[in-house]
Amino acid sequence: MKSSVLKSPEKDKETTIIYKPGRRDFLKLGSLAATGLILGVNFSCSDRKKGGEITELRSGAYLTITSDGKVIITAHRSEMGQGVRTSLPLIVADELGADWEKAEIVQAEGDEEKYGNQNTDGSFSVRMFYKPMREAGATAKLLLIRAAAGKWEVDESECDTDNGKVIHKSSGKSAGFGELVDLAAALPLPKPEEITLKDPSEFKIIGKDTPIIDLQDIVTGKAVYGIDAKVPGMKIAVIQRCPVVGGKVKSVNDKAALAIEGVLQVHTIEGAGIPPQLHKPLSGVAVIAENTWAAIRGRKALEIEWDLGPNAGYDSDKQQQELLEKTKEKGTVRRQRGDFDKTLKNASKVIEKTYLAPFYAHGTIEPPAALARVKDGKCEIWAPSQHPQWARDSVADALGMDVKDVSVNVTLIGGGFGRKSKPDFIVEAALLSQKSGFPVKIQWTREDDIQHDFYHAQSAQRIRAVIDKDNKVSGWNHHSTFPSISSTSDAGAVQPSDGEMRLGCVDFPYDVPSVRIETHDAKAHVRIGWLRSVSNIHHVFAAGSMLDEIAEARQMDPVANVLDMLGEDRSITFNEEMPQGEYDNYGENIKDYPWETGRLRQVIERVAEKSGWGREMPEGRALGFAAHRSFLTYVACVVEVAIDDRNHITIPNVYYALDCGQAVNTDRIRSQFEGGGQFAASLALNSAVTVKDGQVVQDNFDTYQIVRMPQAPQKIHVDIVESDAKPTGVGEPPEPPFIPALCNAIYRITGKRVHKLPVDLEA
Amino acid sequence: MAQYTLRINGVEHQIDAMPDMPLLWVLRDVLDMKGTKFGCGKALCGACTVHFDGVATRSCSLPVSAVQSAEITTIEGLSENGDHPLQKAWAEHVVPQCGYCQTGQIMSAAALLRENPSPSDEEIDSAMQGNLCRCGTYNRIKTAIRTASEK
Give chain B positions within 8 Å (CB) of A416.
98
Cβ atoms A20, A140 nearer than 8 A: no
- Rounded mean pLDDT, A306-331: 98
- Rounded mean pLDDT, A660-681: 98
Angle at A196 between CA A669 and CA A201, to 5 degrees: 45
Q: Do A676 and B131 touch (CB under 8 A)?
A: no
Pick A218's closest partner by Cβ from B20, B96, B130: B96
What residues have CB less than 8 Å from B151, skipping those under 6 apart?
B85, B89
Beta strand A406-410 pairing with A378-383: parallel
* Residue A27, CA distances (Å) to A22, A33, A34, A37, A39 in order: 9, 10, 9, 15, 14
Give chain B positions within 8 Å (CB) of A212.
94, 96
Report pTM. Answer: 0.94
Amino acid type, A270 = E
Whether A58 shows a pLDDT value over 70: the answer reads no
What residues have CB less than 8 Å from A416, skipping those under 6 apart?
A78, A80, A81, A120, A121, A364, A384, A386, B98
Burial of A553 (C-beta count, 10 Å sphere; 0-12/13-18/19+): middle
Cα distance from B69 to chain A (closest Cα, Å)? 22
Q: Do B138 and A676 touch (CB under 8 A)?
A: no
Q: Read off the pLDDT band of A18 (50, 70, 90).
A: low
Pick A706's closest partner by Cβ from B99, B128, B132: B132
Cα distance from B87 to chain A (closest Cα, Å)? 6
pLDDT tens column, B17-62: 999 999 999 999 999 999 999 999 999 999 999 999 999 999 999 9
Whether B11 shows a pLDDT value over 80: the answer reads yes
Q: Is B41 on the interface with A (CB under 8 A)?
A: yes
Q: Do B35 and A221 touch (CB under 8 A)?
A: yes
Q: Do A367 and B91 touch (CB under 8 A)?
A: no
Cβ atoms A218, A71 nearer than 8 A: no
Give chain B positions within 8 Å (CB) of A684.
none
Q: Read off the pLDDT band of A740 (50, 70, 90).
A: very high
Q: Do B29 and A225 touch (CB under 8 A)?
A: no
- Rounded mean pLDDT, A719-745: 97
Count chain A–chain B contacts defined by CB atoms under 8 A: 183
Which residues of A, range 364-423, sit inside 8 Å of B by Cβ?
Answer: 364-367, 412-417
Q: Read off the pLDDT band of A9 (50, 70, 90).
A: very low
> Cis (ω within 30 of 0) for the bond into A758?
yes
Q: What is the pLDDT of residue A49?
A: 39
Whether A56 shows a pLDDT value over 60: the answer reads no
Nearest residue of B to residue A79, measured between CA atoms? B98
pLDDT tens column, A610-658: 999 999 999 999 999 999 999 999 999 999 999 999 999 999 999 999 9
Chain A interface disruption, residue of B29, B31, B37, B103, most A CBs within 10 A: B29
Q: Read off the pLDDT band of A582 (50, 70, 90).
A: confident
Pick A293's closest partner by Cβ from B25, B39, B75: B25
Cβ atoms A32, A104 nearer than 8 A: no
Q: Do B36 and A261 touch (CB under 8 A)?
A: no
Q: What is the pLDDT of residue A102?
A: 84
Q: Give the single-character DSSP code of B127.
A: H
Pick B82's closest partner by Cβ from A220, A366, A707: A220
Beta bridge partners of residue A696, listed in sequence order: A691
Task: Measure the CA–CA gap between A745 and A30, rounded to whole angstroms.
Answer: 57
Q: What is the pLDDT of residue A114?
A: 72
Query: For the residues of A365-432, what is the DSSP string, one character each?
Result: SS--EEEEEEETTEEEEEE--S-HHHHHHHHHHHHT--GGGEEEEE-B-S--TTGGG--HHHHHHHHH
Query: For the residues of A105-150, what is the DSSP string, one character each?
Result: EEEPP--HHHH------TT-HHHHHHHHHHHHHHHHHHHHHHHHHH
- Sorted by where each starts, the structural domains of chain A and their CATH numbers stand as 2-219 (3.30.365.10), 228-309+368-443 (3.30.365.10), 316-361+454-750 (3.30.365.10)
Query: For the residues of A173-211, what is the DSSP string, one character each?
Result: -EEEHHHHHHHHHHSPPPPGGG--PPPGGG-SSTTB---
Q: Do B136 and A674 touch (CB under 8 A)?
A: yes
Which residues of A, range 563-622, sit inside 8 Å of B by Cβ?
Answer: none
Instruction: Pick A75 or B63 by higher pLDDT.
Output: B63
Whether A42 shows a pLDDT value over 70: the answer reads no
Q: What is the pLDDT of residue B130?
A: 98
Domain B2-78 sits in CATH at 3.10.20.30
Pick B128's closest partner by Cβ from A227, A417, A709: A709
Cα distance from A452 to chain B (closest Cα, Å)? 15
Q: Do B18 and A675 touch (CB under 8 A)?
A: no
Numbered ranges of CATH 1.10.150.120 in chain B: 85-149
Whether A388 shows a pLDDT value over 90: the answer reads yes
Whether A47 shows a pLDDT value over 50: the answer reads no
Q: Class assignment of domain B85-149?
A: mainly alpha
Task: Measure the CA–CA gap between A400 and A382, rounded to whole angstroms.
Answer: 19
Q: Read off the pLDDT band of A109 (50, 70, 90).
A: confident
Whether A198 shows a pLDDT value over 90: the answer reads yes
Whether A678 shows a pLDDT value over 80: the answer reads yes
Q: What is the pLDDT of residue B94?
A: 98
Which residues of B, range 96-135, sit inside 8 Å of A by Cβ?
Answer: 96-103, 106, 124-126, 128-135
In percent, how much of chain A has pLDDT > 70? 92
Q: What is the pLDDT of residue A231?
A: 97
ipTM confidence score: 0.98
> Cis (ω within 30 of 0) for the bond into A211?
no
Nearest residue of A to residue B36, measured between CA atoms? A221
Instruction: Pick A572 or A6 by higher pLDDT.
Output: A572
Give chain A positions within 8 Å (CB) of B25.
291-293
Q: What is the pLDDT of residue A6?
A: 29
Whether A24 shows a pLDDT value over 50: the answer reads no
Cα distance from A228 to chain B (closest Cα, Å)? 6
Nearest alpha-carbon partner for B36 in B57, B65, B7: B57
The SS3 call for residue A522 is coil
Q: Do B136 and A367 touch (CB under 8 A)?
A: no
Which residues of B, range 46-85, sit inside 8 Å of A by Cβ?
Answer: 47, 74-76, 82
Whether A511 shows a pLDDT value over 90: the answer reads yes
Whether A496 shows a pLDDT value over 50: the answer reads yes
Q: Within chain B, what is the greatest distance between any pair of CA atoms?
A: 47
Lowest mean pLDDT among A59-73, A248-262, A295-309: A59-73
Lowest mean pLDDT among A4-13, A310-319, A465-474, A656-665: A4-13
Nearest alpha-carbon partner for B124 in A347, A512, A428, A714: A714
Helix (H) or strand (E) holding B50: strand B49-52
Residue A29's region, left for phi above 0, alpha for psi from -120 to 50, else beta, is alpha
Beta strand A633-643 pairing with A649-659: antiparallel
Instruction: Pick A173 or A136 by higher pLDDT.
Output: A173
Cα distance from A426 to chain B (closest Cα, Å)? 18
Q: What is the pLDDT of residue A118?
A: 83
Q: Do B129 and A218 touch (CB under 8 A)?
A: no
Q: How many Cα atoms sit within 13 Å of B36 on the Cβ side?
A: 33
- Rounded mean pLDDT, A43-67: 49
Average pLDDT taken over every residue of chain A = 91
Give chain A positions within 8 Å (CB) of B106.
219
Q: What is the pLDDT of residue A69?
A: 86
Give chain B positions within 8 Å (CB) of A414.
37, 98-101
Nearest alpha-carbon partner for A143 in A271, A318, A4: A4
Task: Measure the CA–CA gap between A59 and A44, rounded to whole angstroms.
Answer: 8
> Sheet harboring A649-659: ordered strands across?
A621-630, A633-643, A649-659, A715-720
Give chain A positions within 8 Å (CB) of B131.
708-709
pLDDT tens column, A680-693: 999 999 999 999 99
Which residues of A, range 712-731, sit inside 8 Å of B by Cβ?
Answer: 712-716
Nearest residue of B to residue A228, measured between CA atoms? B34
Nearest alpha-carbon partner for A417 in B100, B141, B131: B100
Which residues of A, range 252-271, sit inside 8 Å of B by Cβ?
Answer: 261-262
Q: Do A701 and B76 touch (CB under 8 A)?
A: no
Pick A363's closest partner by Cβ from B36, B134, B140: B134
Numbered ranges of CATH 3.10.20.30 in chain B: 2-78
Q: Do A81 and B98 touch (CB under 8 A)?
A: yes
